[in-house]
Amino acid sequence: MSRHVDINSPEEVLDFVAKKQVSEARKEVIMNCYANYCRWKGLPFVKPRYRRVKRLPFIPLENEIDMLISALPRKISVFCQLIKETGARPGEAWNLKWTDINPHNNTITINNPEKNSNPRVIKVSSALISRILCLPRKTEWIFKPNPRAKLKTLARKFQRSRKQISAELHNPRIQKISFITFRHFKATMEYHKTKDILHVKEMLGHASIQSTLIYTHLVDFDNNEWISKTAKTLKEACKLIEAGFEYVCDFNGVKIFRKRK
């Protein structure tokens, strides 16, 4: 609140929030907090209703995400790749400890879930595990330099690098990619691959399936181009799967894989 607003005057607060240049969703959050304050102080207050404007999240092409990840500074690059492969919330990734990484079976355990979700174990690529293990071990956390470090510090560094990369690649769409975009991308790709909405719900840690259903219609995959690869051996097939390719069929003794551009 502004210092010019008497917070013990609901009329002044209502007028201030009504004129504030923020989204309806933000106003709703402010009013929820103020309603709690009024109950505590015993002030008469009728909370106004705000109509949230629903927006679909931005889903970039995978090559845009991969170009950004490859060009970012190492620590931020690993952080983004981790969210891309696990679908973890940025805060969940930020709080990961070295003990949450299992290099023997290439899994990462989310032991500190956010928003009342459940802990979960997620399979990732051996390439990601290798990149994580190459980071310096200075604290018990993988990314946090100390217990009081804030995620927003890493986010600001990411934003500066993203702006420069976007300009160098002449692609303004990269400027729209945030930490949460990697989570949205993972959810969209996982639903496209499995068509199992309950699996996606568990992977994301959603408390309600209503939050997951949005990913069932985010991208029209029928109109996208694909990269095709073939594998003759089990080792080649495993590498393609770890790189995000999906199996299509066998032809003339080779296995054919594809991945969306």
For residue 261, pLDDT beyond 70:
no
Q: Are 106 and 151 in contact (CB under 8 A)?
A: no
- In sequence order, what E strands does 132-198 have? none
Give the model's pLDDT for residue 216: 74
For residue 251, pLDDT beyond 70:
yes
Identify any residues that bridge with 228 across adjacent strands, giving them in sequence order.
Answer: 258
Average pLDDT, the chain: 88
Provide the 8-state DSSP code for 121: E
For the beta sheet containing 120-123, the strands, ordered from the edge strand earlier in sequence to the opposite edge, are 101-102, 107-110, 120-123
What share of the chain in percent tops pLDDT 70? 93
pTM metric for this prediction: 0.71
Domain 62-216 has CATH 1.10.443.10: yes
Q: How far is CA 195 from CA 18, 80, 84, 122, 241, in A?
A: 42, 25, 19, 18, 18
- List all residues 6 or more positions away from 47 whose beta carbon is below 8 Å from its beta carbon: 31, 32, 34, 35
Q: Where are the domains of the chain?
A: 1-55, 62-216, 225-260
**Tens digits of per-residue pLDDT, 172-209?**
999 999 999 999 999 998 888 888 888 889 888 888 88
Range 83-108 burial, b when 16+ CB lie within 10 A, else e:
bbbbbbbbebbbbbeeebbeeeebeb
Distance CA 186, CA 215 (A): 10
Specify the higher pLDDT residue, 200 or 76: 76
- In sequence order, what E strands does the chain have? 101-102, 107-110, 120-123, 226-231, 246-251, 254-260
**Tens digits of per-residue pLDDT, 99-149?**
999 999 999 999 988 988 888 999 999 999 999 999 999 999 999 999 999
The model's confidence at residue 225, banded by pLDDT at 50, 70 and 90, is low
